[in-house]
Amino acid sequence: MLPLSGETNLYTLYDDLEDIAHENNSTSSNISPLSIASSLFSSFQKFARETFGVAVPIFAGRSVFFKSLGVMPRRRPVVVVVGKPIPPPTCEELGGCKMTEFSPKIDRATDQPLNEHGKVLIKWHAKYVHALEELYHDYKDAPWNSPGNKREQSLCIVR
């Protein structure tokens, strides 16, 4: 399943506050409430990351009583397209049917497989990414995809 668009409009993430605060402060000499909020959010996130080892996203959605504050997603259209299935690798490709023994090893620095299972994993991941890219390019400009037609950037797969 590939969410084509609209998913990022369901919540407001406050990780961009620091950038916005710097832009606002460059035009005025006063310290804005946005920069104070940004530093408080950043301090809280840094504390949680260092103390608990978990990055805590700060976000806002909607609630039953307030449309601009809450944890429920906002009421925005989300377009989801489901593509054709990708058949899983066969037992021969995995070197036997014992799935408990599947142990891919990949060098994180170079993305090169270090064993046969790593080669299988990279091959099937490439098939999956290719299928996602095809789905995106096939339906990104469809007339029924109103959130996609208003998108600000294209598909970006982080590797």
Asked whether the beta carbons of 124 and 79 are under 8 A apart, the reply is no
Q: How far apart are CA 131 and CA 125, in angstroms?
A: 10
Q: Please compute the mean of the pLDDT values over residues 135-144 and round it to a whole number.
A: 84
Classify 107 as helix, strand or coil. strand
Q: What is the reported pLDDT for 81?
A: 81
Q: What is the reported pLDDT for 5?
A: 59
Closest CA to 141 of 14, 1, 44, 5: 5
- Say yes or no to pLDDT of 110 above 70: yes
- Say yes or no to pLDDT of 151 above 90: no
Q: Which residues face 13 on adjacent strands? A: 59
**Between residues 98 and 21, which one has the greater pLDDT?**
98
HSE-up of residue 100 (Cα within 13 Å, Cβ side)? 0
Q: What is the reported pLDDT for 32?
A: 57
Q: Model pTM?
A: 0.57
Task: Render pLDDT for 40-98 as a digit per residue (tens, 0 to 9).
Answer: 877 888 888 899 988 888 788 888 888 878 889 988 888 788 888 888 878 777 766 66
Q: What is the reported pLDDT for 114?
A: 93
Closest CA to 131 of 81, 90, 83, 88: 83
